[in-house]
């Protein structure tokens, strides 16, 4: 559906309608109000989000036609009810049934992410799409065959036309639509947010947890997204093998820098009630286990983060968290759950 201006004369009204058509179908997608201190929703200049683009991306995200066997979708592993995770340590939900090498991350608030994947191996949501689409243990889709397959579904050509002004389906447009949908996955509607906005109070235990959090955790998990977009070695391991194309090396796999060995991206802490198990390989089943790791489980290695290293008055690596601190932290972390996210 190309924007075209008909000549004046008898067709002027029709011409006006056609010319204005794209204005309504290309209506920009407007995010809900964002928390203070957060930059406006980042969008690449070549792919600004529109209502039609987000709606198309949503349909694609849930469509099993995107997989080689036509039984799996992005949403098989990124399940809305689980805040776009899958509840498994290492997912076996892909096309091969073989366990993946890393835990499925939530997709909340990724529009602001500076790197994607646990090691930052993807730079933007557009280019990331081709990884899971092609991977034999994920969707195992033959990319060359996909545009024609989608074009056979009569609902898609008009939807692509609405979103992008052309009904010829390409992989690039598919990636753009999926990226627009994922940028729309915002989670800023928790009790924490209501408290920050002055609409509710939090209780004393939660407030204590907030104080402990600011003392020990916000250095890497700063609000409002609760991630610093950086990579840290949090002392989960002492040895990092180069097996499986360096997947266990963390950020070093991407940068080639030994200083990045064992460093993984700081995950958001929003919706933890629905994103278990935790850490890049899902090794912690519960939040008390995560806190026990920070308290007594942190192990020394050359790239261990400075915040977790032993120092003056701190004989052991890790964070000194009393039982009361940990109870309060759990209460505070629960204020970050946003029940409406994923609906």
State how far the Cα of 231 lies from the Cα of 253, in Å rounded to an integer. Answer: 12
* Contact flag: residue 269 with ligand HEC (CB under 6 A): yes
* Contact flag: residue 278 with ligand HEC (CB under 6 A): yes
For 91, residues 6+ apart whose C-beta sits below 8 A from its C-beta are: 77, 99, 100, 103, 104
Looking up tokens 């963390």, which residue turns up? 250
* Contact flag: residue 328 with ligand HEC (CB under 6 A): no
Count of CA atoms in the C-beta half-sphere (13 A) of 266: 21
Q: Is 169 exposed, middle or buried (0-12, 13-18, 19+ CB in 10 A)?
A: buried
State how far the Cα of 327 lies from the Cα of 249, in Å rounded to an integer. Answer: 33
Segment near ligand HEC (CB under 6 A); pick from 147-155, 187-195, 300-308, 335-343: 300-308
Residue 198 corresponds to which tokens in the numbers above?
């002055």
Contact 67, 244 (CB under 8 A): no
* Contact flag: residue 252 with ligand HEC (CB under 6 A): no
- Binding test (CB under 6 A) with ligand HEC, winner from 161, 236, 249, 254: 236
Residues 144-203 binding ligand HEC (CB under 6 A) are 178, 182
- Binding test (CB under 6 A) with ligand HEC, winner from 52, 89, 107, 150: 107
* Contact flag: residue 117 with ligand HEC (CB under 6 A): yes
* Contact flag: residue 294 with ligand HEC (CB under 6 A): yes
- Binding test (CB under 6 A) with ligand HEC, winner from 54, 83, 133, 146: 133
Contact 13, 6 (CB under 8 A): no
| Least distance (Å) between residue 111 CB and ligand HEC | 11
State how far the Cα of 176 lies from the Cα of 123, in Å rounded to an integer. Answer: 14
Q: What angle do CA 20, 23, 174 make, to 5 degrees?
A: 130
- Binding test (CB under 6 A) with ligand HEC, winner from 254, 272, 328, 331: 272
State how far the Cα of 152 lies from the Cα of 155, in Å rounded to an integer. Answer: 9
Q: Which is nearer to ligand HEC, 15 or 115 (CB)?
A: 115
> Which residues of the shown chain bind ligand HEC in the complex (CB under 6 A)?
66, 72, 74, 76-78, 91, 93-94, 100, 102, 104-105, 107, 110, 116-118, 125, 128-129, 132-133, 138-139, 178, 182, 216-217, 219-221, 232, 234, 236, 264, 266-267, 269, 272, 275, 278-280, 287, 290, 294, 305, 307-308, 319, 329
């Amino acid at each position: 559906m190309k924007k075209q201006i008909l000549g004046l004369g008898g067709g002027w009204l029709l011409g006006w309608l056609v010319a204005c058509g794209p204005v309504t179908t290309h209506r920009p997608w407007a995010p809900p109000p964002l928390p203070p201190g957060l930059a406006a929703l980042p969008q690449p200049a070549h792919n600004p989000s529109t209502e039609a683009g987000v709606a198309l991306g949503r349909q694609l995200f849930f469509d099993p036609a995107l997989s080689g066997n036509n039984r799996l979708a992005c949403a098989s592993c990124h399940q809305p009810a689980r805040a776009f995770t899958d509840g498994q340590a290492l997912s076996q939900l892909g096309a091969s049934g073989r366990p993946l090498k890393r835990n499925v991350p939530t997709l909340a608030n990724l529009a602001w992410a500076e790197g994607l994947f646990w090691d930052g191996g993807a730079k933007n949501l557009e280019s990331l799409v081709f990884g899971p689409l092609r991977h034999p243990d994920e969707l195992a889709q033959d990319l060359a065959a996909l545009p024609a397959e989608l074009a056979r579904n009569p609902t898609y050509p008009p939807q692509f036309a609405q979103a992008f002004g052309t009904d010829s389906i390409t992989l690039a447009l598919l990636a753009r639509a999926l990226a627009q949908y994922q940028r729309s996955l915002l989670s800023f509607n928790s009790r924490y947010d209501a408290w920050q906005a002055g609409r509710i109070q939090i209780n004393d235990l939660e407030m204590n947890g907030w104080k402990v959090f600011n003392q020990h955790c916000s250095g890497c998990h700063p609000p409002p997204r609760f991630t610093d977009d950086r990579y840290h070695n949090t002392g989960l391991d002492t040895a990092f093998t180069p097996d499986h194309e360096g997947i266990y090396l963390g950020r070093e796999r991407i940068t080639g820098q030994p200083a990045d060995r064992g460093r993984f991206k700081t995950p958001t802490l929003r919706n933890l009630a629905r994103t278990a198990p935790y850490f890049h390989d899902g090794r912690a089943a519960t939040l008390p286990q995560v806190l026990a790791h920070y308290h007594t489980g942190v192990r020394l290695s050359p790239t261990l983060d400075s915040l977790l290293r032993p120092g003056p008055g701190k004989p052991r690596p890790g964070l000194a968290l009393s039982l009361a601190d940990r109870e309060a932290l759990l209460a505070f972390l629960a204020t970050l759950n946003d029940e409406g996210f994923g609906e």
